[in-house]
Amino acid sequence: MEGLEQIKARIEAAVPGAKIEILQNASPSQQHSLKIDNEHAGDVAKFLRDDPALRLDFCSNVTGVDWLDRTVKKTVKVKKVIDGEEKEVAETTEEKITGYLEAVYHLFSMTHKHGPVIIRMRTTDRAQNVCLTSLTPIWRSAEFQEREIFDLYGIRFDGHPDLRRILMWDEFEDHPMRKDYRQPDDYEYEPTPHDEVLEKAKGHYVSRPELDGAEKITTQR
Amino acid sequence: MSEGIDEGLRSKLQQQGVWVTSMQELYNWGRKNSIWPLQFGLACCAIEMIATAASRYDIARFGGEVFRPSPRQADLMIVAGTVTKKMAPQIVRLYNQMADPKYVIAMGACAISGGPFKEGYNVLKGIDRYIPVDVYIPGCPPRPEALLHAFMELQRKIDEQKLNGANKAAHLDPDQPSEFPVPAFGKRDLEPPANSNVFHPPAIERV
C-alpha cells in the first residue's frame, strides 16, 4: 500500500479544498493517521473507499477520544545579544490548546487485503460545537459505533440515519467516557477501600468527636 | 421436626411401618423438591448455570430442572450475571410478575455487589438494592457446585419455613410485600438508586 504522504497528495488532488494533515504516532506501533477536515469528510471518505488503488471498503473500528484543555511547554534555545555578547538562552513558551473531541476510524481493504488507514476528525471544542460529519453513509458498519460515540462522548454526527443512545438509556444526560465525567455519589461500605475509592469513602465518614481529636482531651471523660 | 409428637415415638412408629408427619413438613417437603427456576441469564454466570442444568452436574437431582420461560410459572429467580442499570428495572419487573412463594439467588460477584464493575457508571451495585435476596453465592463466576450448594441452602431455608405463628413465612403474611417498586431511568442514575425498605448496607465504620 502506498504511504500516507502519497495518499494525502492524491486526496488533495481528488477533493479540491480538503485540508489533510498527517498526525505522527511516536509509539512503537508507528500508526500515523490522517486528520481530515469536517467540511470535506464525506468526499474524502468516498474517495478512500472508491479509489481503485486504495479500495478501503471495510471500516473495522470507530472510536472516540476526549482531549481536555492543556498547555504545552516548549523550550527553545535562542541566540540573544546580552551586554554585547552573544549567548544562547533557553526560552520557554507556553501554548494553550483548547480541548476537543475526536473520532478515529480504522479502515481496511477487503479487495486488496491491505490496511489499516487511520483517519481522524476533530470538533472545535468540547461544549457547543461538537458536530462531525457522519461516515455511516459511506461505511454502514460505522452506524452503531457512531451511536456509541454519541452516547459516551457526546459527539453529534450530522447525516447519521438514527442517532440515539445505544448503551445508556434515553433519559440519561451525561457522557460517561468524557474525562470530566463524575458519577453520582453512591458510595457504600467497602471493607478495604484504597486510592480513589478511599477518597470517596472519606466523604461518607461521620465525625466522632469523642474519638477523633481535641474534644477527647478537653472533656476528660 | 413435626411438633406435638415425641421424636422417639415417631421413630418407633416408623419402624412399625407407620409414618407420622405434619402438614407443614409435608408441604415444605413438596415445595423444596420442586423448585422451578426462571430461565434467564445475564452474563457469563449464566454459562455456569447452564452447565449446572446439564447432565454433568444435573440440577434435576434436586428437583430444579424445570427452567420456566415465564415468570408466572417460576418459583426461583437465579440472578446469574452482571445487572446493568439499564437491565435492573426489567429484573425487578420479572420478580414482581412471579407468583408467591418466590425466592432469589444472587449468583456471582456482580449480582451481589457489582463485582469488578462496582465503580463503573453503568452497573447496578447488587440486585439486593431492589429485591430481597435469599442466598448469595460469591465467585466470578461460581462453579456449578457452588450453585448446587446455594440450591441446597435454599432447600434448607424452605424446609424451615413455618406455616403459621408469628414467624410464619413471608409469603403467607399478608402484611409482607410481594412486589417491589420498579426503579425509573433518571437523568444521572436510576431513581431511586436503592430501595431503602429492602437494602440495608453496613454502616461505614473506621478503626
Kind plus residue range of the DSSP H or E element containing A32: none
Please say whether the beta carbons of A64 and A104 come within 8 A. yes
Read off the DSSP letter of residue A178.
Answer: S
CA distance B102 to A171: 32
- Closest chain B residue by Cα to residue A191: B204
Chain B interface includes A78 (CB < 8 A): no
Read off the DSSP letter of residue A213.
Answer: S
Q: What is the pLDDT of residues A30-61, one digit of tens each?
A: 899 999 999 999 999 999 999 999 999 999 99
Can you list the alpha helix ranges (DSSP code H) found in B77-133?
88-97, 108-113
Read off the DSSP letter of residue B90.
Answer: H
CA distance A143 to A148: 9
The alpha-carbon gap from B44 to the nearest alpha carbon of chain A, in Å, equals 19
The alpha-carbon gap from B68 to the nearest alpha carbon of chain A, in Å, equals 28
One DSSP character per residue, A68-97 reads: --EEEEEEEEEEEEETTEEEEEEEEEEEEE
**Closest to A205 (Cβ–Cβ): which among B193, B202, B204?**
B204
Q: What is the pLDDT of residues A153-182, one digit of tens each?
A: 999 999 999 999 999 999 999 999 999 998
Chain A interface includes B122 (CB < 8 A): yes
Closest CA to B46 of B78, B5, B12, B18: B78
- Closest chain B residue by Cα to residue A166: B86
Strand partners, A108: A58
ipTM, two decimals, is 0.77
Q: What is the pLDDT of residues A132-161, one digit of tens each?
A: 999 999 999 999 999 999 999 999 999 999
Q: Looking at the predicted structure, is the pLDDT value of residue A213 above 80?
A: no
Please say whether the beta carbons of B38 and B68 come within 8 A. yes
Chain B interface includes A201 (CB < 8 A): yes
Chain A interface includes B93 (CB < 8 A): no
CA distance A145 to A157: 11
Query: Residue A221: what pLDDT?
Result: 41
Query: What percent of chain A stands above pLDDT 70?
Result: 93
Q: What is the pLDDT of residues A58-103, one digit of tens each?
A: 999 999 999 999 888 888 888 778 777 888 888 888 888 899 999 9
Do the chains contact at A167 and B121, CB–CB below 8 Å? Answer: no
Query: Residue A219: what pLDDT?
Result: 46
The alpha-carbon gap from B203 to the nearest alpha carbon of chain A, in Å, equals 6
Q: What is the pLDDT of residues B43-82, one digit of tens each?
A: 999 999 999 999 999 999 999 999 999 999 999 999 999 9
Buried b (16+ CB within 10 A) or exposed e, A178-200: beeeeeeeebbebeebeeeeeeb
- Strand ranges in B49-200 using DSSP code E only, listed in sequence order: 76-80, 103-107, 135-137, 184-185, 190-191
Strand partners, A135: none
B102 contact partners, CB below 8 Å, separation of at least 6: B74, B75, B76, B77, B95, B171, B178
Query: Residue B39: what pLDDT?
Result: 93
* Cell numbers linked to B10: 415417631
Do the chains contact at B185 and A167, CB–CB below 8 Å? Answer: no
